[in-house]
Amino acid sequence: MNVAIIGCGGMGHMHARMAANAGLKVVVCGDKFKRKADALAKKFDAAASDDCMEVITRPDVDIVAIATPTPVHTQYVVAAAEAGKHVFCEKPFGRTVHQCKEAIAAVKKAGVRLFVGHVVRYFQEFEAIKAQVDAGKIGRVGFIRTYRGGIMPEGEEMWFRDYDQSGGVTFDCVIHDLDWLRYMFGDVDHVFSQHLQRSTPETMDYSQTTLRMKSGVIANVIGTWAHPSGFRVKTELCGESGMIQYDSAESPIHAMSRGNAGAGPGMIVPSSPVPVSPYQLEWEDFVAWLYEEREPRVTAHDALEAVRIGLAALQSAESGKPVFL
């Protein structure tokens, strides 16, 4: 099957490579900035265009992979569905619940498949944690603490730093943990969130969200785009008979000076030191769904619910009050 990449930034490059690793052929790359489409297309001997809608309707395209800024995900999902193409959409699924529902309706009407890239479900470390919990190794879990983030990303035209577009760290980054917590422990009852979204003198974002799951589990979720460099993930689960801890840095103490920080990349893609990338595993799951008719690990409904929780966290941070889902 042939793939079109829409959005040729960091995640576009990642998904092009992972789609190829999963046995697909990248045939065309689209981006409103032609230089970016050209750069990615050159790596795969593919065509390039700055007309993304034209790319989507090409007859040689079977799958459209969307790696654009979040606010325009829906228009490309709908266009791809109407053109009869299967869709891989990067998270967050949409910027609003309405957008997500619109995309799901278009896909259902067209009879095509839609996969949303909540990749933490495929990280081997997090799957190992799930296996331990499911096996009862630490008993019934009562409390979870997660931490995710690092440097403030930029993106083309600094779109990540426009909180109205990206939703900031709470929505764009922490949505990974919100989805994973629901995957592990079921639906959320209510959330309470606080955040610091600063644009001057330095752009930075830091948030803390507490979730009460309907199962009674409590989770504390930290998200940060305030580090001078790097990216780090930490997770701690407390159960009746034990605890599970994970730290991607594997360093007990690490000091960083903001004043000495150099210019960082436009964004950082979390990595996993394993032979097969989690990003490839999600593509393989998507492809298996297309060929073998088996349900993938992530559904469009899961992606919609992650957006709903993320928006509730933002609403809570603005209002200073808990938000019930």
For residues 54 and 203, state if they share a domain: no
Could you give the CA distance from residue 18 to residue 215 in angstroms, rounded to a whole number?
36
Could you give the CA distance from residue 60 to residue 82 in angstroms, rounded to a whole number?
15
The parent domain of residue 262 ranges over: 121-269+305-324
- How many independent structural domains does the chain possess? 2
pLDDT in tens, 130-177: 999 999 999 999 999 999 999 999 888 889 999 999 999 999 999 999
For residues 147 and 231, state if they share a domain: yes
What pLDDT score does 300 carry? 98
Q: Phi and psi (nearest 5°) for 59?
A: -70, -20
292 in a structural domain:
no
Distance of CA 88 to the CA centre of its chain: 12
For residues 180 and 74, state if they share a domain: no
Could you give the CA distance from residue 29 to residue 45 in angstroms, rounded to a whole number?
10
Could you give the CA distance from residue 188 to residue 98 in angstroms, rounded to a whole number?
19
274 in a structural domain:
no
262 in a structural domain:
yes
**Burial of residue 160, with CB atoms counted within 10 A of its CB: 0-12 exposed, 13-18 middle, 19 or more buried:** buried
For residues 50 and 129, state if they share a domain: no
Could you give the CA distance from residue 113 to residue 81 in angstroms, rounded to a whole number?
8
Query: Which residues have CB under 8 Å from 222's CB, separation 6+?
Result: 145, 146, 147, 148, 149, 206, 207, 208
**Tokens found for residue 149:** 């983030």
**Tokens found for residue 227:** 């580090």
Check pLDDT > 60 for residue 21: yes
Query: For 200, how many CA atoms within 13 A lie in the half-sphere containing its CB?
Result: 0
pLDDT in tens, 68-125: 999 999 999 999 999 999 999 999 999 999 999 999 999 999 999 999 999 999 999 9
CA neighbor of 66 nearest in space, from 309, 303, 320: 303
Question: 3-class SS at 292?
Answer: helix
What pLDDT score does 258 carry? 42
Check pLDDT > 60 for residue 254: no
Q: 124 and 198 in contact (C-beta within 8 Å)?
A: no
Q: Among the three residues 53, 82, 117, which one is the final residue of a domain in this structure? A: 117
* pTM of the predicted protein model: 0.92
For residues 83 and 159, state if they share a domain: no
The CATH number covering residue 87 comes to 3.40.50.720
E strands, 228-266, in order: 231-239, 242-247
pLDDT in tens, 195-222: 999 887 888 999 999 999 999 999 999 9
Could you give the CA distance from residue 325 to residue 308 in angstroms, rounded to a whole number?
8
Could you give the CA distance from residue 234 to residue 163 in angstroms, rounded to a whole number?
24
With residue 227 as reference, give the H or E element that holds it.
strand 218-227
Q: Among the three residues 117, 146, 172, which one is the final residue of a domain in this structure? A: 117
